[in-house]
Amino acid sequence: MSMSQKFKLRDWRLSDAASLAENANNINIWNNVRDHFPYPYFEEDGEQFIRMVLEKPKPITDFAIVIDGKAVGCISIALRKDVERISAEMGYWLGENYWNRGIMTQVVRQMLNYAFAYFPLRKVYARVFDFNVASQKVLQKAGFKREAILRQAAIKNNKIVDLYYYSFIKRDIAKKHKKVI
């Protein structure tokens, strides 16, 4: 598989549950995501997640990352409310078999374009564990800037860690990458 491997972002389908579980059931993924993400990850967990996503109002905020017809990861935005309604938090993961191929940077860029096109957002941000250097590089390559280090803001695997706060401001989209949607 090459750096330019083809992927597609699409809405989730119940038929994705098996490939979702196959790719999500990995301690190396769980170590870099929030604790509400199940581990071990079973097909039933995938079905429950997909049903929850399908019940959300449109436009879509949660996409399957599909390669060779299989759901191998996820990217989502969580829209904020009240005074933060112009912001959304991005979260993502990708099956380990697809790491280090440039896929996630392309996925993040595509999601940014979608988010700014379909929602009245000015800012998309992501919070990353201090030890997740690969995800920090993905965000930097996609044009995000590190705004802050939130010191001792999280706990993962019983260890207190810093969160790195990255953001992308809408006005920077033309400067950082071409529109892909």
> Average pLDDT of the chain?
93
Rounded mean pLDDT of 65-92? 97
Q: What percent of the chain has pLDDT over 70?
A: 92
Rounded mean pLDDT of 33-60? 97
Phi first, then psi, for residue 14 (nearest 5°) are: -60, -30
Peptide bond preceding 57 in cis form (omega within 30 of 0): no
Q: Return d(Cα 172, Cα 169) in angstroms, integer.
A: 6
Query: Is the pLDDT assigned to residue 181 strictly greater than 70?
Result: no
pLDDT in tens, 163-179: 999 999 998 776 655 55
Query: Is the pLDDT assigned to residue 46 strictly greater than 50?
Result: yes
pLDDT in tens, 16-29: 999 999 999 999 99
**Domains and their CATH numbers in the chain:** 8-125 (3.40.630.30)
Between 12-21, 49-58, 123-132, 172-181, the lowest mean confidence (pLDDT) is in 172-181
Query: Is the pLDDT assigned to residue 180 strictly greater than 50?
Result: no
- Give me the pLDDT at residue 171, please: 86
- Secondary structure percentages of the chain, helix, strand, coil, to 5: 35, 30, 35
Rounded mean pLDDT of 110-123? 96
